[in-house]
Amino acid sequence: MSTTASVYLDYNATTPLDPDVLTAITDTLRDAWGNPSSSYTQGKKAKVIINESRQNMASMIGAKPSDIIFTSGGTEGNNWILDTAVKCFHDDQNAENHRKQLPHFITSNLEHDSVKLVLEHMVSAGIAECTVVAASKLSGRVEVEDVLRAVRPNTIMVTVMLANNETGVIQPVSKICSRVRSLKRHPGETPKILLHTDAAQAIGKVKVDVSDIPVDYLTIVGHKFYAPRVGAIYVRDLDKGTPLYPLLFGGGQERNFRPGTENAGMIAGLGKAAELVVRNLDAFEKHLKEVRDYLEEELVREFGDMIHINGKFKTSERLPNTCNFSFKGQGLEGHKVLNKAEHVQASVGAACHSQNRASPILLAIGIPEDIARNALRFSVGRETSKNDIDIAVRDLKKCHDELSKESN
């Protein structure tokens, strides 16, 4: 980034389109504009591109192409998977008591609203039951044993995000899944507990491989890894019976699971972004961590004990690009700092949350409210440089000094 321009540090909220992704989109819209279900040239080209993109998406997470279904984005994917679990519960004819019970979900208090609010709606509407497992204040993670203690005879799904968007703390999803899969189910209980993770924040930053993470469902969000605002879901062995119930009905596209004429241009961009992750993930991860670590070193050097880095636990891993921190003191709320900043473009946390209250995520992992209210989330990207960080820290210093004077 130019030293005279703003410094964008909100890559966890959204990423720009990679130039190769933009080229793939425009080329497809120009040359493969036909209906992918048609037999003429432009339609056939579109179909080929969609198939190639599906392969790239599968390669990115170690899956089979037949297990990938394209969606409009993460919110649709999460809603769809949770809805499938409810329908699966009621379709099970082997559990005698299901007609008298509601499906039971287990989730965490760290989830994105596209999981959290769906489950809250289901509970309030009398559609489902839900146990919200609290993350440990010692690790910022959902602990495996706490999940296991929440399992009931009518538990149908465990859904825990792969990495938190505000703190970057990586959740032990693989261990949770392995332990839940090992549970013996008894007559009258759900025969299988379905497993889901929202991998929106992890894709493109750390390795995500479904051979290592034994979930049944995984949500992918394009605009978190330099792709357009579309996405996909992974369904393990979809062609062998893992349940997926359509939300929509229509022309039969996506093998009748998600009908509607495919958005070939955006799918092409998604596939190209996945291809870039497959080719370059190690380099991406190394760069992100190097710049993020430099950011934290500079914050500590400049502000010393006036700064508190939130969610940095010795026992937990974080995404390599994410730093959540707070200035200590009155009048230093995160939104006030950002309002004064001349160069920094960042956020106080999740883009869909109010800026005027303490983050529920930070409170959930034990950050005191006065510290949480002052939080800022800086998330670096592939093009972020150490020079950008220097500009950002100088900008923060100016904001901090001005606000401190105003509050005295």
C-alpha dist (Å) from residue 33 to 24, 73, 110, 259, 298: 13, 21, 41, 18, 49
Q: Which residues of the chain have pLDDT under 70?
A: 1-4, 93-99, 350-356
pLDDT of 349: 78
In whole angstroms, what is the distance from residue 52 CA to residue 354 CA?
40
Q: Which pair of tokens denotes residue 190?
A: 């759900």
The identity of residue 295, as a single letter, is L
Any idea which residue has 């995500």 for tokens? 208
Q: Which pair of tokens denotes residue 114?
A: 């596209």
pLDDT of 125: 98
User: Exposed, middle or buried: residue 74 (CB in 10 Å: 0-12, 13-18, 19+)?
Assistant: buried
Any idea which residue has 């825990």 for tokens? 160
Q: Which pair of tokens denotes residue 146?
A: 């706490």
Which residue in 12, 57, 10, 22 sits closest to 220, CA to CA? 57
E-strand spans in 336-394? 344-345, 375-379
pLDDT of 1: 40
Which residue in 379, 367, 369 sits closest to 333, CA to CA? 369
In whole angstroms, what is the distance from residue 199 CA to residue 377 CA?
19
**Chain-centroid distance, C-alpha 75:** 10
What backbone torsions phi and psi does residue 71 show, to the nearest 5 degrees?
-135, 180
Q: Where are the domains of the chain?
A: 7-17+281-407, 20-276
pLDDT of 215: 98
pLDDT of 306: 96
Give the alpha-carbon dihedral of 78, 80, 85, 90, to 10 degrees.
Answer: 150
Any idea which residue has 């909100």 for tokens? 10
User: Per residue in 125-139, pLDDT tens?
Assistant: 999 999 999 999 999
C-alpha dist (Å) from residue 32 to 17, 47, 223, 263, 273: 20, 9, 22, 11, 18
The identity of residue 208, as a single letter, is V
Angle between helices 19-31 and 264-303 (to 10 degrees): 170
Contact 34, 42 (CB under 8 A): yes
Which residue in 360, 357, 388, 361 sits closest to 374, CA to CA? 357
Q: Which pair of tokens denotes residue 78?
A: 């999460």
User: Is 399 designated active site?
Assistant: no
User: In this structure, which topology does domain 20-276 adopt according to CATH?
Assistant: Aspartate Aminotransferase; domain 2 (3.40.640)
Contact 116, 65 (CB under 8 A): no
In whole angstroms, what is the distance from residue 359 CA to residue 234 CA?
30
Contact 257, 251 (CB under 8 A): no
Q: What is the rounded average pLDDT for all residues in the chain?
A: 94
C-alpha dist (Å) from residue 277 to 225, 226, 283, 387: 8, 10, 10, 25
Domain boundaries 7-17+281-407, corresponding CATH code: 3.90.1150.10
Which residue in 4, 37, 23, 11 sits closest to 276, CA to CA? 23
User: Per residue in 3-41, pLDDT tens?
Assistant: 457 999 999 999 999 999 999 999 999 999 999 999 999
Angle between helices 74-91 and 113-124 (to 10 degrees): 40
pLDDT of 2: 41
Q: Name the active-site residue from 88, 130, 177, 352.
A: 352
Q: Which pair of tokens denotes residue 76?
A: 């649709």
E-strand spans in 222-356? 231-235, 307-310, 322-327, 344-345
Alpha-helical regions (H) of 73-152: 74-91, 113-124, 144-149
Same CATH topology for 7-17+281-407 and 20-276? no
In sequence order, the β-bridge partners of residue 327 are 307
